Amino acid sequence: MQRLLAALRASKPAHLPRLGLRLVNGLAEPRPPAQFWQHYVRTVLDPGTFDRLSPHSKCLLTCVACKLTHDEAMNASAHSMVERVFRDVTTPKALPLLNIELLTMIMVASHTLRIPLGRQELQRILQRSQELMERESYFNVELSVSFIHSLGAVVRVHPMLREQIASSELVRNVVTKLPDLIPRVNLRELSLVLYAFDKLRIIKDKVATTVMSRLNADRDNIRGQTLSTILYACAVHPSLQPALRLLTQNVTDEADTLTGRMVCNICCAYLKAGLWKQKLAELLENALPKMNAQELCNVANLMMHKSVDVTESFKSAYVTHFNNSVVKLRLSLLDALTLTQSISHWGLTDRVDRPVLDEVLTKTIEADITEAGAKHVYLLHYCVIIGCASAASAVASRIDQNLDYEPLSNKEIVVLFNALHNLGSKLAAISKVEGALKGRLAQRKRFSQVDLQTMAHWGNYEICNLIVEHHLEELGQPSRTSFRLLGALLKVTKSEKAKTVARQAIELVLPPRDTDSPFNEHGRNVDIIVAACELLPHLQVELSVLVLFDKTLSYLTADGGTKWDIDMRSLITLLSVARKLNTRSDAVSSIAYAVTRRVDGTIDPSGFLEYLNAVYHLDLPMTPENRILDIAGKVMTAARDDRIKESIVLALLSMAFGAVFEPASVHSLVTQHLATLREVSTMGLKSIYITLATGGTLSGAMYPAVLRAVSKLASERNFPCPSIGSNLLSKNLDGKFYGRSQTPATDVADPKLHSSVYATLRKMQKDREGFKTLLAEVPVAFDYVADILLIPSSTKVSHVGK
């Protein structure tokens, strides 16, 4: 380091640029450490040195800056050096001393370091380059092509300069003289010109005709990087898209020699042109290990945007590559967003290494220095969906700290609102989002019905009232979305306005009409009919809901149900409505039979839970028993939400308790899935109690989890766990510690209930060490069991006329 600094001090000003080039390229010495470049830039920018440099030498300094790594350039303030060069070499005095090669250096530095040129600086460069190209004695095809290519690269990084460059005299002359230029350039140079023309958006039919003639003539010689660049440049121009069909065989022939970047460009080209084929999917699948994060994300983003059918083979290759390389990937925030979106979009959540992914995403978020914005909102959304809790918390914290809500669209704020609630975040961000939503709702900003429904689902009373007050008139004709929005609102608010709108909408749809009427289209849409039925439980005072519901079901199940092809999820929804209305008829039984016959292990867990609750409450048959339990096992295995899994377990046990199923058939299934829970919640403890109460046993591996759950619940309820002693049992049955915290002395404990709990727990941990501790804590955990001591379900059902 000292030797390098000595050489730096000893160098004459004119020698500094070439010294920097030798060192940055590792030609004269091993590459200097990062600290050296701080001294180098400081020395170069010294007024006594920089002012003595020629314009040529100053342009060479931009090459040095371009060769530095991102961290080296930032630490050395190389950007300030390049900006100083731009100002000095574009003056009317210095610019005439520059040739095309030096002008190209300036343009390359602008797009490589992302430093925009001023409009006046750029205009002078364009004028100077035009003068040089018009002077035949100075015209050099290779250098001119490099400059034209650099113009396209500048526009890609600084799109606000496109119009100025594309309309310049230089570019107009190049387009005019293109037929004369194309025969003089080789194929690689042709690909660079095409790239620039694509970015400048100056490809016209005349240009396309000239280019296609050359491509047809030299088709067999188009390979490698030239092939990928030409395809990428032609993709979005209809007049050049025949080139993609022309060169398809070239892609196949070159498959083994293409780099990851080339495959990325080729695949993106065919995706943009709408010419994606299975052979390209196979090419991409084999090239995945060659790709870096940005290349992988570019292709994945386009595949999702173009709704490409992704094969199982590609999914397997994608997951394998991802799991093998995720730790090595250097992700930007945008890359992280694309990867999480692809995992969610292609249903790969359960196949990726989530703990490692969560860690990588968290590090990416913590390293990101950009201000929170829309990208952070969507990244939070997908992190929540795929279950990366640590990353979701990290991005939620960033959003809480410095998100400006003003630039966000209404949809983006609702996405954030939904994600924060799903995360269960207690950050101040939730109240901030609520405040932003209330303000926009009060200002009558336009929201989609789906966004309004999301707000109503999570929203508080004030948000729902604002929706009712300012946005119900936007609903228009009845639709499934509008009915679901009304249902979400009526769960929170009892607004007469909302009830009136809901009643009027239902009267347009129910009962369904076979006869011609202005609203016949609504009455014959099954999805809308089902959505309308979901509103009925909220309007039992305003409408004769049982009559309407019975007529609707009779209509849908007429002729044995062959009149309509109703999907199973809609049938389950109708059963759920019947449960809420506490009604059963032949039509309800018919629907339940259809669901029981068609249900299988692919049903979504929440739908299966809804089905179980409905048929159990309505006392409808579920046969054969073994098949239903087998489906339950598959559904719980697939369920990622522990709350839904616990709810299914509790529903099955309740059925066993009510003699719908044989308890012995349920116990093994239940204990198997209880053992997979990350922690045993209150609902899980209820399930354990019913298991033990109906003669089941638990595996030894579950005892620690149960003890932790009991202890946690005791702590949450402020239950003072007594010390172990001979009179422990009586102390917990004397009326002081049998419920939530302490009960008043006037309350009387139910010793029978607690004796029953203790008796069943002895089956679980009889003669095991620590049993006394469990007995000391158990009343707190099980004081609520009275609410699950079930009565025969048939007494709950009100039969409606058949």
Beta-bridged to residue 798, according to DSSP, are 583
Q: What is the pLDDT of residues 409-455, one digit of tens each?
A: 999 999 999 999 888 766 677 888 989 999 999 988 888 889 999 99
Mean pLDDT of 622-632: 85
Q: Are residues 740 and 663 in the same domain?
A: yes
pLDDT of residue 560: 54
Which residues have a Cβ under 8 Å from the Cβ of 51 and sit 6 or more positions away? none
pLDDT given for residue 800 in this prediction: 31
Q: What is the pLDDT of residue 725?
A: 29
What is the span of the domain harbouring residue 729?
617-802
Same domain, 562 and 622: no
- What are φ and ψ of residue 42, in 5° steps? -65, -40
Residue 56 corresponds to which tokens in the numbers above?
């040529």
Q: What is the rounded distance in angstroms from the CA atom of residue 395 to the CA atom of residue 61?
A: 39
Question: DSSP assignment of 638-657, as one string?
Answer: H---HHHHHHHHHHHHHHHH
| Within a domain: 675 | yes
Of the candidates 28, 10, 49, 78, the residue with the CA atom closest to the CA atom of residue 2? 10
Q: How many other β-carbons are positioned within 10 Å of the β-carbon of residue 410?
A: 18
Number of domains in the chain: 2
> Residue 554 in contact with residue 592, Cβ under 8 Å?
no
Residue 482 lies in a domain: yes
What is the distance between the alpha carbons of residues 680 and 763, in angstroms, rounded to a whole number? Answer: 19
Task: Indicate if 696 and 797 belong to the same structural domain.
Answer: yes
CB 451 within 8 A of CB 414: yes
Confidence label for 155 from pLDDT (cuts 50, 70 and 90): very high
- What's the pLDDT at 525? 77
231-276 pLDDT, tens digit per residue, is 999 999 999 999 999 999 999 999 889 999 999 999 999 999 999 9
Q: Helix, strand, or coil here: 739? A: strand
Residue 149 pLDDT:
94
Q: What is residue 518's predicted lDDT score, i.e. its pLDDT?
A: 39
Query: How far from 176 is each of 166, 182, 186, CA to CA, in Å?
Result: 13, 12, 19
Query: How high is the pLDDT of residue 394?
Result: 93
DSSP string spanning 594-643? HHHHH--TTS-HHHHHHHHHHHHHTT----SHHHHHHHHHHHHHH---HH
Asked if the structure places residue 536 within a domain, the reply is yes
Give the pLDDT confidence score for residue 646 in this predicted structure.
84
767: alpha, beta or left? (left if phi > 0; alpha if psi -120 to 50): left
Range 611-639 average pLDDT = 86
- Mean pLDDT across the stretch 21-50? 84
pLDDT digits (tens, 9 = 90+) for 161-178: 999 999 999 999 888 888
CA distances from 552 to 506, 558, 578 (A): 12, 10, 12
Most confident of the ranges 569-583, 722-736, 788-802? 569-583
In this predicted structure, what is the pLDDT of residue 135?
A: 74
Q: What gap in Å lies between CA 73 and CA 41, rounded to an integer?
A: 10
Which distant-in-sequence residues (6+ apart) come within 8 Å of 533 by Cβ?
A: 510, 549, 552, 573, 574, 577
Structure tokens at 65: 């800056």
Residue 746 has pLDDT above 50, yes or no: no
The residue whose two tokens read 């009779």 is: 554
pLDDT band at 709 (very low <50, low <70, confident <90, very high): low
> What pLDDT, on the 0 to 100 scale, is given for residue 665?
81
Lowest-pLDDT range of 202-206, 313-317, 561-565, 603-607: 561-565
pLDDT at 636: 87
Residues 633 and 551 in one domain: no
Predicted pLDDT of residue 148: 93
Residue 627 shares a structural domain with residue 728: yes
Give which of 383, 137, 349 is closest to 375, Cα–Cα: 383
- Both 656 and 542 in a single domain? no
Q: Are residues 631 and 516 in the same domain?
A: no
Residues 646 and 747 in one domain: yes
Whether residue 793 is predicted with pLDDT greater than 60 in this model: the reply is: no
pLDDT at 511: 74
Q: Determine the average pLDDT of the residues in 528-550.
A: 88
Model confidence pLDDT, tens digit, residues 357-386: 999 999 999 998 888 999 999 999 999 999
Q: At what angle do helices 187-200 and 224-234 cross, to 10 degrees?
A: 30
Share the mean pLDDT of the chain: 81
Q: What is the Cα–Cα distance from 775 to 762, expressed in whole angstroms? A: 9
Q: Round to whole Å and give the CA distance between 794 and 88.
A: 91
**What average pLDDT does this structure show over 88-100?**
91
pTM, rounded to two decimals = 0.78
**pLDDT of the residue at 374:** 93
Q: How far is 607 from 595, CA to CA, in rounded Å?
A: 11
Give the tens place of pLDDT for each residue, 327-359. 887 888 999 999 999 999 999 988 899 899 999
538, 655: one domain? no
The reported pLDDT for the residue numbered 705 is 63
- What is the structure's pLDDT at 555? 81
Q: Which helix (H) or strand (E) holds 751?
A: helix 751-765
Asked if residues 95 and 140 have their Cβ atoms less than 8 Å apart, the reply is no
Q: Does 583 have pLDDT greater than 70?
A: yes
Instruction: Report yes or no on 141 lying in a domain.
Output: no
Chain CA centroid to CA 595, Å: 32
Please say which residue of 523, 541, 566 terminates a domain. 566
782 and 667, same structural domain? yes
Domain termination residue (choose one: 538, 566, 594): 566
516 φ, ψ to 5°?
A: -70, 135
DSSP annotation string for 40-83: HHHHHTSHHHHTTS-HHHHHHHHHHHHHS-HHHHHHHTHHHHHH
| Structure token pair of residue 689 | 């109690």
Long-range contacts of 709-714 (CB under 8 A, 24+ apart): 709/679, 709/680, 709/681, 709/684, 709/685, 709/781, 710/685, 710/774, 710/777, 710/778, 710/780, 710/781, 711/777, 712/679, 713/682, 713/685, 713/780, 713/781, 714/777, 714/780, 714/781
Residue 479 has a pLDDT of 84
Asked if residue 306 belongs to a domain, the reply is no
Specify if 328 maps to a domain. no
Q: Are residues 680 and 788 in the same domain?
A: yes
Average pLDDT over every residue of 220-239: 93
* Residue that has been written with the tokens 């299966």 in this structure: 608
- pLDDT reading at 480 higher than 60: yes
Q: Are 661 and 517 in the same domain?
A: no
* Dihedral Cα 669, 675, 677, 681, nearest 10 deg: 90
pLDDT in tens, 24-35: 887 766 778 888
99 part of a folded domain: no
Q: How far apart, in whole angstroms, are the C-alpha atoms of residue 426 and residue 432?
A: 12
Q: Which residues lie below 8 Å from residue 368, measured CB to CB, with a gap of 6+?
A: 332, 333, 398
In a domain, 713, yes or no: yes
> How confident is residue 711, by pLDDT bands cut at 50, 70 and 90?
low
Task: Lowest mean pLDDT of 109-118, 284-293, 558-567, 784-793, name the range.
Answer: 784-793
